[in-house]
Structure formats: structure tokens, C-alpha cells
Chains A and B, each alone.
Chain A
Amino acid sequence: MIHSRRDVLRFGLTGAATLLLPHAGLLEAAEADALVEDPHFFLMIVLSGGADASYMFDARPLAMTAAGKIQNYLGEDPFPCAGRNGITSAATSLIKPLLPFKDRFSVMNGVVMTPSFDGHAQNMNFLFTGDPFGGDSFIPHLNLAETGHNPDAVDAIVPADQADFTALNHSGVIPLEPKVLRGLPERLRQLPPAHASDPLTSFVRSRIEAAAQGSGRLSGGASLMLTALDNSPVVHRKLAALSPSNPDQSTEKQSIALIAECFRLSLSRAAIYVLPEQFDVHAPELAKTQPKLFSGAIEKVAALLQGLADTPYDAKRSMFDVTTVMLASEFGRTMRAPDMAIDATGTNHNQYSNSILMGGKGIRGGMVIGASDMADLISPISKAHLAVDPVLEKTLGMPFDFKTMRPRADLPEAFDVEDYLTIGSVVNTLYAVFDVPQPHHRKLGLDKRAAPVLQGLLS
């Protein structure tokens, strides 16, 4: 949406933002001021179940299928997708809905997840926390005061059904689907927010505070309750200012509208959008549905990105201009399963090669970074690969040169995570974009250095 100069002059930044929020008058002055702060938000789009990058930006030639190496239910040879940095990936026709945005995001191939585990939960945990067993998600770190931004009321909203999504249960990551807005803002406008000067609120707070004194589990929960209660008036007013969703719109449009409002209101620093498609295709009959699965998912991603581009943040900027976007799955998939015909095989988990897209604010778009091995029938295979995958069912990230941002041609003798582009580097790059201080940066291992930031990806 383009706004005329007259619009800008007429309303000013805050005025225009208020214009876009029908109930923004409910906010107090300090809350409305947040609208003109240097805005920066984060949208994470999650492909659940382990998506096979060979159907997106890390495809393989049909000759490899003919040789029995990799399934290909699309039945097409990929086309070269050249990055502006001179690296080319092989992409399928399924990604064409994303091509209008190709200059706004970069592709990372051959990203190593957790080398020690190949389970969904462990790798989803690793993606979000850097620990296969869970812990602090990176998302709340983007909303720390240490980043130099005033923290938004909540760290992230999850505006889609997330029943099987493992990265919840952080106190600042809140499921908030568009459907819940039918009725909620209106009811909240009828109930005054909890106010510290109100005797009842003051009493409730005193009991929570008393219970929070101590070191037990209940004290821990009460401590979180105390912070929650203190933040609740602001959140109450911001939730009350949200507009009801339009049920006639697509789920993606409703979600983008909700995300945009939450961002504009400084209700949330980030949003996690979990696509409904399940990419865990062990069974051949499921694997055969991948062209349809990816087609549906990529259309939704394109709709989300278009929604960001079409939705104004203020009179000058779109939501895409102020949002960093990342698309990721917990891991990739094997090329095939053992003991099955190549035209009737499912695929298993591959934590050694994932594909991730990143774009939007702070990210240099249009590049291809990293690569996975076994790109064709004649690519040499390292001893490092044979050590972790002797049956050659998994692709492995190519060794990576962090200075030149290019895959290396050498063939390591043994697997050492320091040789590879890892999810730690992806998250640390995001940290660099959001000015998250160094102590939070992920390490490559307990006794290893911090995963290098992908400097060339920063705009």
C-alpha cells in the first residue's frame, strides 16, 4: 500500500499508525509513543515434521533418481537459482510463488542441526534453544532490553494452531489465533484493567508477592505471576485495542492482520507461524504427496510475505520493511529409505542438512549461502560424511568458509562441527541483526567457540 505525501503530512507518523488501529485511542500516551520508535520485529515461519529441501531450494537432478539415489515425486529436473553472490542452488518449480520475493530473502542450504540426535523434539528444541532437551528459546532474546529496544509486552505470539508444536511453554511466547479475537477485545473493553491503586489488585499482588518469596516450584510460578500481573494492564489495553478478525479472509490474511496489529501496538516483538502441513513423510504414500504438500505450504508462505509487503506499518513503511523473516523446519530428510523401491519410498530424518530462508529487515537478500553434498552422481564424498552416514542416505552440509561465505571444496577426514554452517550461526546472525549481546550467542559446543555470525548476510 502506498501512502501519499499528503497522508503523511496530514496524520504524521503516530497519526497514521493510529488511523490504522481503530481502537488505539484506548492506549496511554507512552504506549502510543512506541509506534514511532525504530521498529524491528521478527516473523518465524515453521515447517513442521522435517521438510525435504529437495522439493524447494536444494533439489537434485532426475539422473540421481534414475540411479536409485533419491526419490523425486515431482518428476522434474530442477532449475538453477542463482544468488547475487555467485552461488547457485537447484530449485524446483514448486518455489515459483516465492520468486517475487527472491531479492528480499537469502537461502541457506546444508545447515547442520544437532549432530547427536535425529528426533523431531530434539531438533525442534535445538532450533529454538540450542539444546536438544530444551531451555531458553532464542525468540525472547530478541525482546530483551539489552538489545537497546524497549521490550514489547510479550516476546512472541503464535497465530496458528500449534497443538503439536514443541517450542512453546516459554512464559513470553503466547498462542494467539485470529479466531480468539472474536469477542475478546470487546469483553476486555468492558472490564477495567487491573490497576495497582485498586485495593483488590493490590491485595492480589501482595499474596502473589508473598508466595514468590522462596525457592520452591510454587515460588517460581508465583514469581512469573507477579511479573505477569504487573504487565497485565498494558497487555489488557493492547488486547482490547485489537480489531476482530474477518472470518471471510484466508487464514494467512487474518494471521498477518493480527501479527501486524500486535507489532504496531508493541504487543509482541515476534510471531511464530506454524504452517498446518506435516512434512514427516516416512511412509511412501505420504512421501508421494510432497509436491502437493509443498505447493500448499509455499502458497501460504507467499501469501504471508505478500501480506507483510501489502500491510503498512506506518505511513512510510510496510510490515516487511520492519520485520526480519525466517522460514525453517526442524531438520531435512534422507534421500530415500532403505529396502524400498525408489519410486515407492518414504524418507527419514536428516539432521545434517537443513534449508533455511531468511530475509526482511537487516538481512541482505538474493543470496545463496552454503550447500549440501551429493549434489549429483559424481560429487566426491568425504570421510566425514561416511563417518556419520555410512549408507549414504543423508546429504550433509558442505564444509563452509565463513570468511568468503562460500562452501569449501575440501573433503574433511572426520566430522567436526566447526567445519560446517550450523543453526548456531543462523541464530547468531539473527542475534546480530537484533543487537542481542554476545553472552547470549550460541556456541558450537560446550567447550567450543561461539558459532560465527554470517557477516555477509547482514545488510
Chain B
Amino acid sequence: MGRFIIALVAALWVAALPAHSATSQFKGLSVLSKELSARIAPEDGPIELDRFMPADGLDDLVGTWAAFGTEHKFQNGMPNAVNMVLLRLAFSGFAQSLAKSCKAPQLLLNDSFYDTLEAVCTWPSGEAKSEEVLTGFWLSLMGYDAPQEEYAIWRDFVLGAYAKKTAPEAIEAMTLALMLNPYFLLAQ
């Protein structure tokens, strides 16, 4: 009987939660920047994705923490058409910077990722398309946040649609395709 009452109370509590509490929100540029920095940037040169936003304050529109007195809450993280436009805009800028880094470094990158990028910069060579290089690129940006099959689908897409493209075109598309993936963007 006791267990039943606890289960009932728990069920009622869950049912009473606002709808958005059952929905993942965007992590926000601050968290994404930290995650990317840990994966691809040197310790003293973090990635700051907000620099790819065209105006101050826009990074707040894609998910941010706000304080009111002693209360802290995450806001603007619910996916909507405006923050999708803004994320695509910012990530396009980041992806272009990464692609341009083949010729001249545009971002501070750690040695491990720099080696991977250097190999991808030889696209459409066989080395750039190797499993080792593509896995390295994927894991460097995505980490282990996505299921294995997401990697395989992404790999097949870039090897198909971008097989004969130039390195900058391929890198830009590879980066955007990965960064606009829900497993990269959404808090789990």
C-alpha cells in the first residue's frame, strides 16, 4: 500500500510538471563552447562560439542561464525558428573558420585536433576519407554524446554528397551537419 501511494504521488507530480520540463532544450552557446574547447582547443585558448554571432546579446537567445534574486533558471533554450536561424548562422561562421584554417589558422586548436584537421584538409584524398580520420573528426567535435549509428550515417553522407567537393566545402558541410545534430545541440 505504501509503495502504491508513493508511486501515485510520484505519478501525479510528474503529471503536474510543466510541459517543457519533459523536453530537452538547447545547451546554449556557453556550454557548447566549453564542450568544444575541452575537445579541440588548447587549454589557454578556449573556443568562444558567441564571437560568430553578428550582434551582442544574440547568444542569449539560444539558451542561457538567468538569475532573479536567489532563483536561477535556464531560458530561451526551447528550440524555435529564431534560435534555429541564429544557431545555423553562428555555426556557419564557425564551420567557415574551420575550413579556412586549412590555409591559415583561424582558430586556436589543440595538437590532436590540428592533426585531424590537417588530414581532412587533404580532401578529397583517400587519407581524408579514411575511417580513422573521419572518426577522429566526429569524436573531436561531437564527443560521445551521440549513438554510434549517428556517426555512420554522417560518414556516409559526407562520403556521398561531398565526395568530389573541395576541402573547404567538405569541411564546412561536415562541421555544420554535425553541429546541427540534436545530440550535439540538446541537453540530454
Q: Tell me whether B182 and A225 are in contact (CB under 8 A).
A: yes
Distance (Å) between the CB of A341 and the closest chain B CB? 27
- With A135-B19, A180-B58 given, is the CB distance from A154 to B177 under 8 Å? no
**Range class of the B interface residue count:** 35 or more
Query: Which of A35-43, A75-83, A163-171 sits within the interface?
Result: A163-171
Query: Which of B28-36, B77-85, B125-133 sits within the interface?
Result: B77-85
Q: Tell me whether A220 and B84 are in contact (CB under 8 A).
A: no
Query: Which of B60-68, B100-108, B113-121 sits within the interface?
Result: B60-68
User: How far does the alpha carbon of A334 sit from the alpha carbon of B158 in the complex, in Å?
Assistant: 65
The answer to the question of B8 belonging to the interface, with a C-beta cut-off of 8 Å to chain A, is no
User: How far does the alpha carbon of A375 sit from the alpha carbon of B188 in the complex, in Å?
Assistant: 54
Of all chain B residues, the one with the shortest Cβ separation from A135 is B18
Q: Tell me whether A169 and B20 are in contact (CB under 8 A).
A: yes
Q: Which residues of A have CB within 8 Å of B180?
A: 204, 207-208
Q: Tell me whether A168 and B75 are in contact (CB under 8 A).
A: yes
Q: Which residues of A have CB within 8 Å of B20?
A: 169-171
Q: What 1/0 mask marks residues of chain A from 201 to 235 whose CB sits below 8 Å from any chain B CB?
A: 00110011001100001101111110111011011
Q: Which residues of B have CB within 8 Å of A193?
A: 85
Q: Tell me whether A224 and B57 are in contact (CB under 8 A).
A: no
The answer to the question of A182 belonging to the interface, with a C-beta cut-off of 8 Å to chain B, is yes
Query: Which of A22-30, A109-117, A183-191 sits within the interface?
Result: A183-191
Q: Which residues of A have CB within 8 Å of B56?
A: 179-180
User: How far does the alpha carbon of A344 sit from the alpha carbon of B58 in the complex, in Å?
Assistant: 43
The answer to the question of B14 belonging to the interface, with a C-beta cut-off of 8 Å to chain A, is no
The answer to the question of A103 belonging to the interface, with a C-beta cut-off of 8 Å to chain B, is no
User: How far does the alpha carbon of A166 sit from the alpha carbon of B75 in the complex, in Å?
Assistant: 9
Q: Tell me whether A183 and B81 are in contact (CB under 8 A).
A: no
Partner of A194, one of B74, B88, B177: B88
The answer to the question of A136 belonging to the interface, with a C-beta cut-off of 8 Å to chain B, is yes
User: How far does the alpha carbon of A191 sit from the alpha carbon of B25 in the complex, in Å?
Assistant: 25
User: How far does the alpha carbon of A177 sit from the alpha carbon of B59 in the complex, in Å?
Assistant: 12
- With A203-B177, A217-B188 given, is the CB distance from A177 to B54 under 8 Å? no
Q: Tell me whether B84 and A164 are in contact (CB under 8 A).
A: no
- With A200-B177, A203-B157, A203-B161 given, is the CB distance from A169 to B76 under 8 Å? yes
Of all chain A residues, the one with the shortest Cβ separation from B17 is A133
The answer to the question of B9 belonging to the interface, with a C-beta cut-off of 8 Å to chain A, is no
Distance (Å) between the CB of A34 and the closest chain B CB? 15
The answer to the question of B176 belonging to the interface, with a C-beta cut-off of 8 Å to chain A, is yes
Partner of B68, one of A163, A169, A207, A227: A163
Q: Tell me whether B181 and A204 are in contact (CB under 8 A).
A: yes
Distance (Å) between the CB of B74 and the closest chain A CB? 8
Q: Which residues of A have CB within 8 Å of B23?
A: 217, 220-221, 223-224
Q: Tell me whether A164 and B55 are in contact (CB under 8 A).
A: no
Of all chain A residues, the one with the shortest Cβ separation from B52 is A187
- With A168-B75, A221-B186 given, is the CB distance from A174 to B82 under 8 Å? yes
Q: Tell me whether A187 and B89 are in contact (CB under 8 A).
A: yes
User: How far does the alpha carbon of A199 sit from the alpha carbon of B165 in the complex, in Å?
Assistant: 13
Q: Tell me whether A154 and B82 are in contact (CB under 8 A).
A: yes
User: How far does the alpha carbon of A188 sit from the alpha carbon of B92 in the complex, in Å?
Assistant: 11
Name the residue among A191, A193, A212, A234 with the largest chain B CB count within 10 angstroms: A191
Q: Tell me whether B150 and A232 are in contact (CB under 8 A).
A: no
- With A135-B18, A225-B79 given, is the CB distance from A188 to B89 under 8 Å? yes
The answer to the question of B22 belonging to the interface, with a C-beta cut-off of 8 Å to chain A, is yes
The answer to the question of A134 belonging to the interface, with a C-beta cut-off of 8 Å to chain B, is yes
Q: Tell me whether A186 and B54 are in contact (CB under 8 A).
A: yes
- With A172-B80, A180-B61 given, is the CB distance from A207 to B182 under 8 Å? yes
Partner of B66, one of A136, A164, A228: A164
Q: Which residues of A have CB within 8 Å of B26?
A: 221
- With A171-B80, A179-B56 given, is the CB distance from A188 to B85 under 8 Å? yes
Partner of B55, one of A174, A184, A218, A234: A184
Name the residue among A194, A221, A236 with the largest chain B CB count within 10 angstroms: A221
The answer to the question of B1 belonging to the interface, with a C-beta cut-off of 8 Å to chain A, is no
Q: Which residues of A have CB within 8 Å of B76?
A: 168-169, 174-175
Q: Tell me whether A164 and B68 are in contact (CB under 8 A).
A: yes
The answer to the question of A417 belonging to the interface, with a C-beta cut-off of 8 Å to chain B, is no
Q: Which residues of A have CB within 8 Å of B5?
A: none
User: How far does the alpha carbon of A193 sit from the alpha carbon of B85 in the complex, in Å?
Assistant: 8
Of all chain A residues, the one with the shortest Cβ separation from B25 is A221
Closest 10 pairs (CB-CB, A-B): A221-B24, A220-B23, A231-B81, A183-B54, A187-B54, A171-B78, A183-B55, A235-B81, A224-B79, A228-B84
Chain A residues packing against B (C-beta within 8 Å): 121, 133-136, 153-154, 163-164, 166, 168-172, 174-177, 179-184, 186-188, 191, 193-194, 199-200, 203-204, 207-208, 211-212, 217-218, 220-225, 227-229, 231-232, 234-236, 239
Sample of 12 more A-B contacts, CB < 8 Å, known A224-B23, A232-B85: A154-B81, A163-B68, A168-B75, A174-B80, A175-B60, A179-B55, A199-B161, A204-B176, A207-B154, A208-B181, A221-B187, A224-B78
Chain B residues packing against A (C-beta within 8 Å): 16, 18-20, 22-26, 54-58, 60-61, 66-68, 71, 73-85, 88-89, 92, 150, 153-154, 157, 161, 173, 176-177, 180-183, 185-188
